[in-house]
Amino acid sequence: MNRLPPLTASARLRHAAAVAVLAALAFAGPARAQFASVPAPVLDQPPAASAAEHEKQYRVDAARHVYAAYPARIYKGRLPPLLYSVMVVETEIDAMGQVAGVQVVRKPAADEVAPWVVAMIKRAAPYPAPARLGVARFTEIWLVDKSGRFQVDALTEGQR
C-alpha cells in the first residue's frame, strides 16, 4: 500500500486556506455573481414620447422601455414559485425622460439586488418623455429570479 509522506506545516496551511476559500464560495451562492455588473441597455434610439394621461399608464410605458433596454434579462414565462428577491422601487422621470430619482420603498432580502436594480433603472434613461404628465412618479415591483432575470409587476406573466 502506498503511503503519502506527512504534510509539512506550510502544506497543511495552504490546504486549510484552500478549503476555507471553497467553503466561502459555496456559501456565497451562485446567484450573487449575476448581480455584480449592470448590463448595457440595447436601445439604439431615444424612445418616442409617452401619451399616458395617468401615472398607471406611464408605469406600463416605463416597464416596456425597461424590457426593450434589457431583453436578455427578462424572465420569459411564468416565474418560479420561490423568487430570489422582490423589491419595490419608486421612480421619478422628468419632462425630458431622464431619471430624476429612484427610491427603494421595500428593500430586497438579497442585498446585492437593490443597487443592481437601481443602476439598471438609471442606465436605461432616457425613458419616454411623459408629455401629458410633465413629471411621472410611479411605484414598481421588481420580481427577480436567482438567474439574474426579472419581470416587473406592470408586465408580469405571473408565477407558477
Q: In the β-sheet with 136-144, what is the strand arrangement from edge to edge?
A: 99-106, 85-93, 136-144, 150-152
H/E element holding 114? Answer: helix 113-123
CATH hierarchy code of domain 32-155 = 3.30.1150
Buried b (16+ CB within 10 A) or exposed e, 101-115: eeeeeeebebebbbe
Show me where the domains of the chain are located. Answer: 32-155
95-111 confidence digits (pLDDT tens): 999 999 999 999 999 99
111, 117 contact by CB (below 8 A): no
82-141 confidence digits (pLDDT tens): 999 999 999 999 999 999 999 999 999 999 999 999 999 999 999 999 999 999 999 999
Q: Regarding predicted confidence, which is higher, 31 or 23?
A: 31
**Model pTM greater than 0.85?**
no
What is the SS3 assignment for 71? helix
pLDDT of residue 40: 92
pLDDT of residue 25: 44
pLDDT of residue 32: 78
Which of 58, 43, 91, 74 is closest to 143 using CA atoms?
A: 74
